[in-house]
Amino acid sequence: MPQVKCNYCKKGFFRHRNRFNENKKLGHNFYCSKECQGNYFRRRVIVICDNTECGKQFEKLRKEFGPSNYCTGSCAAIVNNKKFPKHVVKFKTCRICQNQFKGGNTYCSGVCYKKSRVRHKPEDLIKSLKHTYEKLGRVPAKREIPKLANACEHAFGSWNNSIIAADLKPNRSHENRMYKRVMTKAKDGHSCDSISEALIDNWLTDNGVEHIRDVAYPDSNHKADWSIRENIFVEYFGLAKDSPRYDKSIKIKQRLCKKFGIKLVAIYPCDLYPKLNLSSKLKNFVYFPAFE
């Protein structure tokens, strides 16, 4: 049984060989009693602050002694902030609007992202608009040419701005909103409330379907857009599901048609845009003479 010396009181004592080998292997000190072990760890030692800008000497409990020792929390913060700097927010400049923003995106907003994808020159878009105008003989509707309209919106900010840039007159301005009409002449001279109605009126004319504009519903102040025969009304519901008031008027017309036995042919924007497709709803009336 080997003899060892207490690390605190320096007193010699015998230690069992197994415990002696274990302490040597783990690098532990020897203590003759738990009291000496506690006194060793409770004693204070003089250390130097690891903050090189401070270098102050101070006392510290032996059990609190570690690989890094600081006299105050401020010194610890100074050193740790240098070792582990906080994430610095870097601002980017948007390629489109030059605004400063942060994050992982390339553009500051979805609007600028859409503008970045525009590969058409403004002059080319204006040329396409004028060509479409000459082909149709009128200002095209936005829903009629969606791809060109999207490119124009990105390039000029809005559809109306692109129409004005092409030296044309918009079909509907900001002052002409939902219930304000924009009068348009059809081929047969009928006055229509919009380009959409003019497209329907022209289709009826081109296919030889005789029709009358603004026919009154029986016992009502409401009027149908067209009458093909005495008991067949054609309505263009261009603002369906856009306004509660407009939807209410649709229901009133439907009830009137049911009450008086009138056949109602309802046409919606999807029947006109992006491609004119009225044959599915009006082909049965092409060869019917009006008002026999």
Both tokens of residue 105? Answer: 């995106």
How many residues make up the chain in this entry? 292
Q: Do 253 and 278 fall within a single domain?
A: yes
Q: Do 78 and 91 fall within a single domain?
A: no
| Phi and psi torsions of 271, nearest 5° | -80, -10
Q: Which of 165, 197, 222 is the last residue of a domain?
A: 165
Q: Do 127 and 112 fall within a single domain?
A: no
DSSP 43-95: SEEEEE-S-TTT--EEEEEGGG--SS--SSHHHHHHHHHHHSPPPPPPEEE-T
Q: Which domain holds residue 100?
A: 87-117
Q: Residue 169 carries which side chain, given as an amino acid letter?
A: K
Q: Give domain status of residue 53, yes or no.
A: yes
The larger pLDDT score, comparing residue 88 to residue 213, is at 213
For the chain, what is the radius of gyration of the CA atoms? 44
User: What total number of domains does the chain contain?
Assistant: 4
Q: Do 195 and 154 fall within a single domain?
A: no
Q: Before 67, cis peptide (omega within 30)? A: no
Q: Do 188 and 255 fall within a single domain?
A: yes
Q: Which of 83, 107, 130 is the last residue of a domain?
A: 83
pLDDT digit string, tens, across residues 109-129: 888 887 776 667 888 888 988
Its pTM stands at 0.46
pLDDT mean across residues, the chain: 82
Q: Give domain status of residue 291, yes or no.
A: no
Q: Give domain status of residue 34, yes or no.
A: yes
pLDDT digit string, tens, across residues 83-93: 887 777 788 88
Q: Do 56 and 149 fall within a single domain?
A: no
Q: Do 209 and 254 fall within a single domain?
A: yes
Here the CATH number for the domain that contains residue 199 is 3.40.960.10
Q: Do 208 and 277 fall within a single domain?
A: yes
- Specify the DSSP element, H or E, that contains 57: strand 57-61
Reduced to 3 states, what is the DSSP secondary structure of residue 30? coil
Q: Give domain status of residue 235, yes or no.
A: yes
Examine the pLDDT at 236 and tell me if it is beyond 60: yes
Q: What is the pLDDT of residue 182?
A: 58
Q: Give domain status of residue 172, yes or no.
A: no
Q: Do 200 and 280 fall within a single domain?
A: yes
Sequence-ordered alpha helix ranges (H) in 157-274? 159-165, 195-206, 244-260
6 CB contacts (<8 Å, ≥6 apart)? Answer: 12, 13, 30, 31, 32, 33, 36
Q: Do 107 and 148 fall within a single domain?
A: no
Reduced to 3 states, what is the DSSP secondary structure of residue 144? helix
Q: Give domain status of residue 174, yes or no.
A: no
Q: Do 280 and 189 fall within a single domain?
A: yes
pLDDT digit string, tens, across residues 22-68: 888 888 888 888 888 877 777 777 888 988 888 888 877 776 777 88
| Phi and psi torsions of 43, nearest 5° | -75, 155
Reduced to 3 states, what is the DSSP secondary structure of residue 207? coil
Q: Give domain status of residue 290, yes or no.
A: no
Q: Do 52 and 12 fall within a single domain?
A: yes
